[in-house]
Structure 1
Amino acid sequence: MTDWITDLVEKMGYAGILLLMFLENLFPPIPSEVIMPLAGFGAADGKYSLGLVIAAGLAGTMLGALFWYSLARKIGDERLRRLADRHGRWITLSGADIAAIEKWFCRHGIWAVPLAHLVPGLRTLISIPAGLFTMPVPLFLLLTAIGAGVWTGVLGAAGYLLGARFEGVEKFMGPVSTAIMVGLSIYYIWRVCSFKSGRTG
């Protein structure tokens, strides 16, 4: 999948980065931990602007977050949990997962939104309670931009600095990216196979 990510970015440029970061919020095995460093490495190689790479990644993340926020706000808690229990296997999201992230949100308040974007597994889900509890859209977008901006910025800059400092970095960037993808794919398959809806009746 790393080759697919690289090819898509090379063909579509910044739009490809935006699209991939949007899809990361919808389909767990597409990780920002691979997308942004590869894009940052491309910037170090002179193909892209690092600032625009980070901006594209941030825009894609915010669009994905807004998708979940809007969905949760529109259909409400009970219906969303039922949908997750019925169809959430492929995105590994159950009603119990939604209940858990709601508790985490309540415990940390509004700062749960930017904090969650720094934690793998939480950054996709945190938009759901923000929508369910009808957080004002401008505040949600601001907090999402803060957390996602830090995350995409760090990953993109890491790829850029690594590519700028070491010649032939692609020789080990490929295997490292592949290892991350394989690990996440195995975890995803395990989650799908062990998925429990949480329904009691």
Structure 2
Amino acid sequence: MNDWIIHLIEQGGYAGIFVLMVLENVFPPIPSELIMGMGGIAVAHGSMRFWPLLFVGTAGSTLGNYVWFLLGDRFGYQRLKPIVGRWGRWLTMDWHDVERATAFFQRHGQWVVFAMRFSPFLRTMISLPAGLAHMRHGRFLLFTFAGAAVWNTLLIHGGRLVAQYLSAFEDVIGYAVLGLTGLFVVWYLWRVITWRPRD
């Protein structure tokens, strides 16, 4: 089972990792922890190299976050609100979430873009208020890339450790990865089905 998952990663290669990381930051439900963790296992198996994997994963994270940043920067509050109202169910957020993230961004300053890369729930959400606040594009991209690089480094090393210490249980790892992916998909679908706007 684990060999099959590694084979999928190898087939997609670095381009596949890049696309997955872009999508993970634009639209749920597959988390970067799973993508880059499996990439780390591929590094341990010798089918990927650390530095190219880190670069494409970080570039994908940055681009995915930049999509949300551009939405906020180009649309502004008035034009963005109806979009969130219409697509909020699929994004599992409403305007109240945007306002909370904006207040958080304003309270803690632009460095929060870097710091939130380590938060599973706020790392993508914070890009929207950064755009709404018209943060400088270069500064946003730099902070996002730097934060994502640190986080992805930890995830890759985590995957390598898993491969090293649990090599005797590779089949179990494969089933666990599929199980976790299934749980994330179920969680996302549950959020979509039970989602109710607050305003």
- What residue number does 1:51 align with? 51
Q: TM-score, normalised by structure 2?
A: 0.91
- What residue number does 1:126 align with? 126
- What residue number does 2:104 align with? 104
1:104: how far off? 1.4
Equivalent residues in 2 for 1:32-71 (5 A)?
A: 32-71=32-71
| Partner SS for 2:26 | coil
| Partner SS for 1:25 | helix
Q: State the AA in 2 paired with 1:57.
A: G
Structure with greater proportional helix content: 2
Distance 1:5 1:112 in 2: 35
1:86: how far off? 1.2
1:178: how far off? 2.7
Q: Give the gaps of 5 or more residues in structure 1.
A: none
Distance 1:4 1:126 in 2: 35
Tell me the number of residue pairs that the alignment of Structure 1 and Structure 2 aligns: 198
Any conservation in 2 of the 1:72–1:131 contact (CA below 8 Å)? Answer: yes
Distance 1:59 1:138 in 2: 14
Distance 1:97 1:8 in 2: 36
Distance 1:128 1:39 in 2: 28
Distance 2:72 2:165 in 1: 44
Q: 1:8 to 1:26 in 2, by over 3 A?
A: farther
Q: Give the gaps of 5 or more residues in structure 2.
A: none
CA RMSD of aligned residues (A): 2.0
Structure 1 runs, 4 residues or longer, greater than 4 Å off: 2-8
